[in-house]
Every structure is written in structure tokens, then in C-alpha cells.
């Protein structure tokens, strides 16, 4: 019989695989940007948000905050690197005004993470206190990010079309949330449960909307640019909420 530790590790590994898929899902968007040599109406906001989230989880996984959490560093370190590559491409092909905005946001995020790190190390002196303090920030940002897909879901209802809500991403978001909810319940972890509980609900609503409106979706060729834009926003905001949730697999 599989014990709880093995079951948690299996769930965590499955969650890592799905999270990696979500991290890589915006690649078509950046292929389009590279081919067109301009960012057009694409926005850097989802990637900036994910950079901040991953950076916080990387700090969370450090030995002085949460010992024995190597996977939190590796999974979020990988995500952080991927997001920085996305931002580098976005920065290179952006007009000057957007470059300034992206640069200022990155500096602001570095300052914020630095403040959190300083407060954590100076004001708290036990691993439990430090991990709880940083974990609260991570959950807050995850929760705020789940607001973003509401815009797309509203558009689906108004247009009665799922043209702008790719099924594969909605399904992946749902499965990712379910896997990490199971993981959190095997050995109760409030931080993981809250973030991924919201993710599960969000993914479930998207799948329900897809079931309701896919028959009324026009059969004409999909606007590739719109679909990629939706993929970028939806998957990135979801993935930023789940990429850090492997944090206790190695515990």
C-alpha cells in the first residue's frame, strides 16, 4: 500500500510536469513576436507578475526560510528563468516607452523582494515564522492573479464563443489545481490548498463554459493573434499561481 509520503510525492511530481507545460505554453506567442519583430498589442504584465511570484517562491525555498525544500528552488528557478527569457524577447522588440515600463517594473519587483527578504531575516528567527511570513505573500499574489481569467470568461459568455479560451489550457489549469489540492489534503497545507483551490474552481468554471458554448462557436478560422494573446494571459497567470506549489515535496 502506498504511504502518504509516496502519494504526496507522486502528486507533486505530476503537478511539476503540468506546471512546466503551463510555463512553456506562451512559446507560440513569442514565436509570433519574433517573426513580426514587434510586440503589437501583447502585454508584459503576466510575465512581470510571474517573475515576482517565482522570485518569492525561490526565496521561500532557501534553507534559512524553509529547510529541505530544494524543489521549490528548482521549479521556481526554472520558471523564473523562462519568464526572464520571455521578458527579454518582449523588451527587445518593444518601443522605448514599453522598455522603460518593463525596466521600471523589474526594478520595483527586485526592491520589493529585497524588502521582504530583509524583513524576513531580521524580524523573524524561526523557520516556521519565516516560511509563514513569505508564504502569506505568495498566497496573496496567487489569489490576485486568479482575477485575470474573469475577463476572458466574461467575453465567452457575451460572445457565446470559446474562440478565445483554448480548451487545452483550461483543462491543464483545472488538472493542475486538482493535483495540488489532493497534495495539500494528504498532509494539510493551508497555503497550497487556498491557492490551488481557487485554481481548481477557476479551471472548472472555464471547462463548464466551454461545454456550454463550444457548439455555438463559429466554425471560421480562428484569429491566431487573439488566441495567442488569450493563451498568454490565461496560462501565465494560472501557472504563476501553481508553479511554487511543489514546495513541500522534498520536505
Neighbours of 85 (CB within 10 A): 12
Distances (CA, A) of 239 to 80, 118, 172, 180, 203: 12, 27, 10, 12, 12
The mean predicted confidence, pLDDT, of the chain is 80
Predicted confidence at residue 249, as pLDDT, reads 39
pTM for the complete prediction? 0.76
Higher pLDDT, 148 or 223: 148
pLDDT at 232: 47
Range ranked top by mean pLDDT from 37-41, 134-138, 223-227: 134-138
Whether 169 has a pLDDT exceeding 70, the answer reads yes
pLDDT of residue 219: 66
Angle at 124 between CA 119 and CA 130, to 5 degrees: 90
Q: How far apart are CA 48 and CA 232, in angstroms?
A: 12
* pLDDT-wise least confident of 55-64, 92-101, 121-130, 167-176: 167-176
pLDDT tens-place string over residues 227-244: 445 444 444 444 434 444
Average pLDDT of the residues in 40-67: 85
Residue with cell 527587445: 92
Cell numbers placing 132: 509563514
CA-wise closest residue to 47 among 251, 245, 233: 233
Helices 4-24 & 167-186, crossing angle to 10 degrees?
Answer: 150
Residue with cell 497534495: 183
At 89-144, the pLDDT tens digits run: 999 999 888 899 999 999 999 999 999 999 999 999 998 899 899 989 988 887 77
pLDDT of residue 140: 85
Non-local CB neighbours of 190 within 8 Å, separated by 6+ positions: 184
- Output the CA torsion sign for 70, 71, 72, 77: positive
| Cα distances (angstroms) measured from residue 199 to each of 81, 225, 245 | 23, 25, 12
Please give the pLDDT value at position 240.
39
Contact 227, 168 (CB under 8 A): no
Integer Cα distance of 195 and 144 in angstroms = 10
Cα-based distances in Å from 170 to 13, 56, 149:
20, 25, 10
Is 191's pLDDT higher than 90?
no
Question: Cα separation of 17 and 232, whole Å?
Answer: 19
Amino acid at each position: 500500500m502506498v504511504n502518504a509520503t509516496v502519494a504526496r510525492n507522486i502528486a507533486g511530481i505530476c503537478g511539476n510536469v503540468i506546471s512546466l507545460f503551463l510555463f512553456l505554453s506562451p512559446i507560440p506567442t513569442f514565436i509570433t513576436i519574433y517573426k513580426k519583430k514587434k510586440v503589437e498589442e501583447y502585454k508584459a504584465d503576466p510575465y512581470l507578475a510571474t517573475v515576482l511570484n517565482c522570485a518569492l517562491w525561490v526565496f521561500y525555498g532557501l534553507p534559512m526560510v524553509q529547510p529541505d525544500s530544494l524543489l521549490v528552488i528548482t521549479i521556481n528557478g526554472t520558471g523564473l528563468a523562462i519568464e526572464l527569457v520571455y521578458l527579454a524577447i518582449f523588451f527587445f522588440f518593444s518601443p522605448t516607452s514599453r522598455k522603460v515600463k518593463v525596466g521600471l517594473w523589474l526594478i520595483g519587483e527586485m526592491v520589493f523582494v529585497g524588502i521582504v527578504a530583509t524583513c524576513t531575516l531580521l524580524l523573524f528567527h524561526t523557520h516556521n515564522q519565516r516560511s509563514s511570513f513569505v508564504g502569506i505573500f505568495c498566497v496573496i499574489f496567487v489569489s490576485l492573479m486568479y482575477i485575470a481569467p474573469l475577463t476572458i470568461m466574461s467575453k465567452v459568455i457575451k460572445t457565446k464563443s470559446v474562440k478565445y479560451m483554448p480548451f487545452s489550457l483550461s483543462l491543464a489549469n483545472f488538472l493542475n489545481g486538482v493535483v495540488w489540492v489532493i497534495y495539500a489534503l494528504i498532509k494539510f497545507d493551508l497555503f497550497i490548498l487556498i491557492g490551488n483551490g481557487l485554481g481548481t474552481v477557476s479551471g472548472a468554471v472555464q471547462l463548464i463554459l466551454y461545454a456550454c458554448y463550444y457548439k455555438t462557436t463559429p466554425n471560421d478560422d480562428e484569429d491566431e493573434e487573439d488566441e495567442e494573446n488569450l493563451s498568454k494571459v490565461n496560462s501565465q497567470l494560472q501557472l504563476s499561481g501553481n508553479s511554487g506549489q511543489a514546495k513541500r515535496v522534498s520536505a
